[in-house]
Structure 1
Amino acid sequence: MGAGDRGGEEPGHAPGGDSPEDTSRGFLEAYGRGLRMGSFDWDLDTGLMAMDAQAHEVFDLRPDEYDEHPETLAQRVPVSEGGRLDALVARALKSGEETYGTYFRIRTRAGDMRWTHTRGYIRRDEQGRPRRIVGIVRDATDELNDATVHAEREARRALRSGDTGVVQTTTAALAHARTVQDVIDVLRDTHGVDQRGSASFVMGLVRAGRIHLVAEGPQGTFVPGIHTTRIDDPYPMSEAVRTLQPRFIESPQEFAASYPALWPLIAHMEITSAAYLPLIAQAKPIGVVGLLFHDRQGFTDSERNVMVALGSSIAQSLQRAMFYEQEKDLAQGLQQAMLPRTIPDVPGADLAVRYRAASLGRDIGGDWYDVIPLPGGRVGAVIGDVQGHDTHAAAVMGQLRIVLRAYAAEGHTPATVMARASSFLHELDTDRFATCLYAEADLSTGVVQLVRAGHLDPLLRLMGGNCRRLAVAGGLPLGLSAEFGRLEYPVTTAELDPGEALVMCTDGLVERPGTDLDDGLQTLTTLIGTGPDDLDQLADRLVASVEDRDTEDDVALLLLRRRGAGAVQSGGRLTEHVPPGDPDALRAARHMIRHAVRAWGARDSADEIELVADEMITNALMHTEGPAIVTLRVLTGADRRLRVDVEDTSSALPRRREAGEDGVSGRGLFLVDQLADVWGVEARGVGKCVWCEFVVPARE
């Protein structure tokens, strides 16, 4: 719908051409003839294309069948036509032309092919970048009817005279086919069947010693009851596969005599001759095509040669499509195995993740995402991209994702997590580097620490729907920073209020042909700001924005929203640093605990909380050589809790012991376990944190 040659119509697809000066006259003539005509407005920034009611009629679409995404029109535009149109519109955009136009065919709801014409006008900004395409689309059936009939007659004549142009035409159409279904669509195209001089065709694929019929053209060609047949069955398709030789049937009498079991089932189709062509690849049959004729008997030597060449062309395309699908399945399976199988439920947060493989290339890359639940109401979010688009990139990505997750779970700071991941990648036997963005969010306070390694900045969607870019200080990509000895990664701190969402993505979601990265980020910011509030719907919309363009890059997307009402929130927070051998600091910490507990409405549990906190501090000072950091905070959510954290610099985990003979030593963890509602130990990279929580009543 949106493509054309440089300044005119596509050669060979129209009876004439529209020059720019004929545009107005063409419009008037179209209206004068009463042709159906509709208009469209294609926003290249968002990828959405609006069409009016008349355009819906031209495409034989109901309004509810079109969602303003151009790829939706694929249900009406055959694959061969769609590939040609995509190439033409890309050339028009890159060449700097202001207009284009072309004729193309659509398949109606009834399955008939119909000629259509479109003309578009490209609107560019001051820098010459294409921003919009506005234009018309109209039914061109009547004006091309005579030319089409003539072309079909010429195609039949060419086949009967042994003209290899028919093979070339079919091969050209099959060149756009990437999947088995694409091959079927090219052959099932009614116009394509007529080009080969046949009235109908059937196609079967060989699988596990049987022939499975997968296509027919036109509709109704399948014979009931024989959708799956054995290779040794008495049918012409089976014979062609069994002998690896084409089977030509030159008359109804020969058909009836050679295949008495099949002929009664197809006699009503008035077939006068048929050709069954084995599809052979690497000396093995992969399928068979049957061409059925209504208006001829017998085949000349030249006609047989053309059909054999046609079968070879179809076989090559089919094998290429099978290899592509096998490689695609393998690549996607490997990619999915490397990505997290499930995303954990994180209290206090809503999450949405998406991965989309490249539409071009090998459909595999090094893009990844990960969500890492951390203790204390914290969560780590990772988005990254390993250089390259092959299985090696995916393998490196899988290893890097696992080690980065392990470093974060050990309790290292975000900067340390990134530095260690870079060192790991540098030590691998690979020349790949990776960009990465790591965010660690405390969902109770809303504080987010972000570290960036050569990656895109994240975006922040606010409660009102507005969206803005978060500027995050960055370091070198992973692997490169270790190679150059620059492992310092600055940490940027931001706040995430309840209802606000952090958007992290790879560059495949942002980059657009002919535009710079800043423009792509601005377009993405607009999409997010105007998108739905539901996180999953928003993620779907963002990924759908790249469906209208062929891209050689993968897309990974992660959205994290801090919940509002009902989420775990902080109602207060106090911290005290207690050095070893400093009794004044220890007294100050006890004083802070005593007053905070009473001020926060936990007077009834004050003695227990003070005793437990004192035991935890004492253990940290007695069994380590460094200081103890005491943090008190109130958490509100489903219930109200007071949490005590005591951090030290020792990685040795505490263990419960029986009290000694003096009745003093060994009681610390026993008291914590008996008095606290819940307690635990967290690794913090360098050291650990022993924590406990007490359920306390809400304030009056």
Structure 2
Amino acid sequence: MAEPGATAQPAPEDWPAGPNPILAMNRMGSFDWDLDSGRMHLDRQALAIFGVTPESYDGLATTASSRMPAAERDRMGNMIKDTIRAGSETYAAYFRVRRPEGGLRWTHTQGTIRRDSTGRARRVFGIVRDATQELRDTTARREQAAELRRQTGIVQRTTAALASARTVKDVLDVLQKSHGLARLGADDLVMGLLEDGRIRLVADGPEGGYVPGTRWTRVEDPYPMSDVIRNLRPAFLGTPEAFAVAYPALWPRIEGLGVSAAAYLPLVAQGEPIGSIGLLYRDKRGFTAEERNVLVALGSSLAQSLQRAVLYEQEKDLAQHLQHAMLPRTIPAVAGADLVVRYRAARHGRDIGGDWYDVIPLPGGRIGAVIGDVQGHDTHAAAVMGQLRIVLRAYAAEGHPPATVMARTSAFLNELDTDRFATCLYAEADLSTGVLQLVRAGHLDPLLAGPDGTARRIPVEGGMPLGLSTQFGSLGYPVSTVELDLGATLLLCTDGLVEQPGADLDDGVDALIAQVGRGPHDLRLLADQLTATVEERGGEDDAALLLLRRRAAGIPHYGGRLQQSVSQGQPRDLPQARHLIRSSAHAWGGGDRGEEAELVADELITNALTHTDGQCVVTLRVLRDGPERRLRIEVEDASSVLPRRRPTRPEGVSGRGLLLVDLLADDWGVEGRGNGKCVWCEFVIPAPPGRGQGY
């Protein structure tokens, strides 16, 4: 630029420059096309773009267009015709021309249409330019953007999958089984979690890639995972040489794995490092800025998921310890029975619930078996379950009849400061007789499998769930009595064992019956098979299972003791009591005396219900007096009025009950029991064959 005040110099002779030199500097050529004659003037740069020498060009537009592939030539011709017909003045398009050395070159043209006074198109002026590099750059950018979108999509999908991961194993499964690493180009991963100042390796890379001594490492150790945790910065090792220089102690131990590049990312959650991850590549050299950004974003999402997983596992561990503390640590060995229990935690929630089981040894060779389920899947449900288990066990051990045990447990739950209810099934078995008394509180019916394995459902009349029965004033729990034959198996379970997604509960029970029938005879193998099926099904509820099999060997050599409550307002109680007496007398070897015992007991029960208010309790037991055995029946009620024999009239029916008792029973009497009384009778029964006088 001239200084201010300087004298202006004359302009050069070729000033101002024509358009051709300026176009040539921008690798552009110009053309002038006369539409009437078909002639087209091309400057030297335009001729070079079309691949035509000045000497060979005859000045015709058809000669220039012959350098174009036929499809391109037709497309361009139609496009120009359409532009002219539409009355437009300009057009622009990309097309390809053949190079003299072979191949095709992308070219771009822009044209202006000149018309005469009538509007007819006469000439076209324009430029052409080589667009090969332009489109190559555009394609590269487009491909680069597509690759970035692909990788970003992988991170988004991986992040969405990580949102449902509950454990550290779930997180690793998302990375390894969803092909996320493969789509990002990584071949393997290593991962470590920070625990008490040390790094615990939870994923050790490719098969055979574990480096001995690195299962636990310190943050100060010269390893890449330690470095990124210390510095809170990722490390990108783009070549084997860079890896070897950065970590000379580690590289010789993994060189044989064929790693060509690696990216190590710190896992930071809420500003604190919780671990690190390393992505290993076999066919990669270097990392672009976009790849680094994508991997850093992946590390951030992964850290949040891992933090949730670690907290979940800590809560799960605490909950499971609570669950195990509430359940029986061991199941007692019971003479005359094989017992197997199983508990399977739910897969969702905190893996803890209110399911429980219990086995309670009772006096007189009896045994109590309990299965129950408290509403909910949390620590509160487990705490309520533990209290219920202890209370029910205490009531049963005190010797209360099964119905009383259930009623008192329900009242206890109602008194707790909780809104939870529970279902329960209590079975009291006399192993010497096989008599089984069942009480159900809103729970599933039990199953009974015969010695041949054929299973069936036992319909048990039930009451309301524990806690609810007290609220609704319905504490009456009917007792069902069945016989457990030698070799037969009682199955108690919670609904988690039979629930199937999308299926009715009865269908699940039918499937369980079929599975028991097909299952192995060994109780432990059968229990494992039943719970394994639940695990495969992936149920959302926990499940408890109790199997009790009566066997001949080891049955105690003493009489049993059974109890049954009979209420005035429960018409089924009396027939059930009769069945209990009849089956017990038969099982205890009473023979023909069983019918006499049933008749006498029926009379005593009827008297108690007729002349007292409320209910009576019937107790059966076998007494031994030297070589003699006696079947004793006791009927207790809350009235202190003692029965007395009255004279009978031929035309009357009253007064004959105690006469019948006196005639049939070998002995009978009345005892005061606090505010009530007990009327009892005894029948001498023979000793069982083969047991002599030691029974």
TM-score range, shorter chain: 0.5 to 0.7
Partner of 1:498: 486
Contact 1:458 1:502 in 2 (8 A): yes
Give the superposition deviation at 1:526: 1.4
Could you say what secondary structure the match of 1:164 adopts? Answer: helix
Could you say what secondary structure the match of 1:529 adopts? Answer: helix
Contact 2:560 2:621 in 1 (8 A): no
- Summarize deviations over 1:60-105 as a string: whole Å, max 9, x none: xxxxxxxxxxxxxxxxxxxxxxxxxxxxxxxxxxxxxxxxxxxxxx
Partner of 1:407: 395
Give the superposition deviation at 1:468: 1.5
| Separation (CA, whole Å) in 1 of partners of 2:499 and 2:675 | 37
Give the superposition deviation at 1:228: 3.0
Q: What value does the CA root-mean-square deviation take over the aligned residues?
A: 4.0
Q: Does residue 167 of the first structure (1) align with residue 155 of the second (2)?
A: yes
Contact 1:206 1:286 in 2 (8 A): yes
Could you say what secondary structure the match of 1:183 adopts? Answer: helix
- Please identify the structure whose Cα radius of gyration is greater: 2
Structural mapping, 1:201-212, within 5 Å: 201-212=189-200
Structural mapping, 1:467-482, within 5 Å: 467-482=455-470
Partner of 2:361: 373
Partner of 2:308: 320
Amino acid at match of 1:425: L
Give the superposition deviation at 1:627: 13
Amino acid at match of 1:219: E
- Summarize deviations over 1:182-232 as a string: whole Å, max 9, x none: 323443459443322234432222222122333233323333444432111
Give the superposition deviation at 1:399: 0.4
Partner of 1:223: 211
Structure 1 residue runs of 5 or longer lacking an equivalent are: 1-153, 576-598, 601-625, 651-682, 690-694
Partner of 1:213: 201
Partner of 2:121: none
Could you say what secondary structure the match of 1:290 adopts? Answer: strand
Give the superposition deviation at 1:245: 1.4
Contact 1:425 1:479 in 2 (8 A): yes
- Summarize deviations over 1:654-683 as a string: whole Å, max 9, x none: xxxxxxxxxxxxxxxxxxxxxxxxxxxxx9
| Separation (CA, whole Å) in 1 of partners of 2:367 and 2:470 | 26
Q: CA distance change for structure 1 residues 224 and 357 in 2, over 3 Å: closer, same or farther? A: closer
| Separation (CA, whole Å) in 1 of partners of 2:618 and 2:159 | 76
Could you say what secondary structure the match of 1:372 adopts? Answer: strand
| Separation (CA, whole Å) in 2 of partners of 1:279 and 1:640 | 80
Partner of 1:198: 186
Partner of 1:357: 345
Q: CA distance change for structure 1 residues 643 and 245 in 2, over 3 Å: closer, same or farther? A: farther
Amino acid at match of 1:262: L
TM-score (norm 2): 0.60
| Separation (CA, whole Å) in 1 of partners of 2:173 and 2:144 | 21
Q: CA distance change for structure 1 residues 238 and 444 in 2, over 3 Å: closer, same or farther? A: same
Give the superposition deviation at 1:458: 1.0
Q: CA distance change for structure 1 residues 550 and 684 in 2, over 3 Å: closer, same or farther? A: farther
Partner of 2:5: none
| Separation (CA, whole Å) in 1 of partners of 2:675 and 2:380 | 30
Amino acid at match of 1:320: R
Give the superposition deviation at 1:476: 1.0
Give the superposition deviation at 1:165: 1.8
Give the superposition deviation at 1:382: 0.8
| Separation (CA, whole Å) in 1 of partners of 2:206 and 2:461 | 61
Contact 1:413 1:685 in 2 (8 A): no
Partner of 1:60: none
| Separation (CA, whole Å) in 2 of partners of 1:285 and 1:629 | 68
Partner of 1:529: 517
Could you say what secondary structure the match of 2:482 adopts? Answer: strand
Range 175-184 or range 240-249, more displaced:
175-184
Give the superposition deviation at 1:260: 3.0
Structure 2 residue runs of 5 or longer lacking an equivalent are: 1-141, 564-588, 591-615, 638-672, 681-686
Partner of 1:515: 503
Could you say what secondary structure the match of 2:321 adopts? Answer: helix
Partner of 2:25: none
- Summarize deviations over 1:520-560 as a string: whole Å, max 9, x none: 22211111222222111221222222122222211111111
TM-score (norm 1): 0.59
| Separation (CA, whole Å) in 2 of partners of 1:196 and 1:342 | 51
Partner of residue 453 from structure 2, selected from 454, 458, 465: 465
| Separation (CA, whole Å) in 1 of partners of 2:617 and 2:442 | 36
- Summarize deviations over 1:270-290 as a string: whole Å, max 9, x none: 544432101112222221111
Partner of 1:260: 248
- Summarize deviations over 1:573-609 as a string: whole Å, max 9, x none: 999xxxxxxxxxxxxxxxxxxxxxxx99xxxxxxxxx
Partner of residue 418 from structure 1, selected from 406, 419, 422: 406
The size of the alignment, in residue pairs, is 462
Q: CA distance change for structure 1 residues 314 and 398 in 2, over 3 Å: closer, same or farther? A: same
Q: Does residue 395 of the first structure (1) align with residue 379 of the second (2)?
A: no
Partner of 1:675: none
Give the superposition deviation at 1:500: 1.1
| Separation (CA, whole Å) in 2 of partners of 1:476 and 1:210 | 54
Could you say what secondary structure the match of 2:364 adopts? Answer: coil
Contact 1:369 1:557 in 2 (8 A): yes
Give the superposition deviation at 1:514: 2.2
Contact 1:374 1:409 in 2 (8 A): yes
Partner of 2:473: 485
Could you say what secondary structure the match of 2:236 adopts? Answer: strand
| Separation (CA, whole Å) in 2 of partners of 1:470 and 1:685 | 38
Contact 1:366 1:388 in 2 (8 A): yes
Select the structure with the greater relative contact order (CA < 8 A; seq sep ≥ 6).
1
Partner of residue 543 from structure 1, selected from 517, 525, 531: 531
Structural mapping, 1:589-604, within 5 Å: none
Q: Does residue 336 of the first structure (1) align with residue 345 of the second (2)?
A: no
Contact 1:155 1:195 in 2 (8 A): no
| Separation (CA, whole Å) in 2 of partners of 1:155 and 1:633 | 94
| Separation (CA, whole Å) in 1 of partners of 2:479 and 2:511 | 27
Contact 1:365 1:394 in 2 (8 A): yes
Range 296-305 or range 158-167, more displaced:
158-167
Amino acid at match of 2:359: V
| Separation (CA, whole Å) in 1 of partners of 2:302 and 2:259 | 23
Contact 1:647 1:687 in 2 (8 A): no
Range 165-174 or range 482-491, more displaced:
165-174
| Separation (CA, whole Å) in 2 of partners of 1:210 and 1:300 | 32
Could you say what secondary structure the match of 1:485 adopts? Answer: coil
| Separation (CA, whole Å) in 2 of partners of 1:202 and 1:628 | 70
| Separation (CA, whole Å) in 2 of partners of 1:161 and 1:492 | 68
Give the superposition deviation at 1:359: 1.8
Contact 2:336 2:553 in 1 (8 A): no
Contact 1:156 1:196 in 2 (8 A): no
| Separation (CA, whole Å) in 2 of partners of 1:386 and 1:469 | 23
Contact 1:435 1:453 in 2 (8 A): yes
Partner of 1:450: 438
Partner of residue 386 from structure 1, selected from 374, 377, 380: 374
| Separation (CA, whole Å) in 1 of partners of 2:263 and 2:674 | 74
Could you say what secondary structure the match of 2:418 adopts? Answer: coil
Range 523-532 or range 305-314, more displaced:
523-532
Give the superposition deviation at 1:649: 7.9
| Separation (CA, whole Å) in 1 of partners of 2:482 and 2:200 | 59
Q: CA distance change for structure 1 residues 197 and 684 in 2, over 3 Å: closer, same or farther? A: farther
Give the superposition deviation at 1:332: 1.6
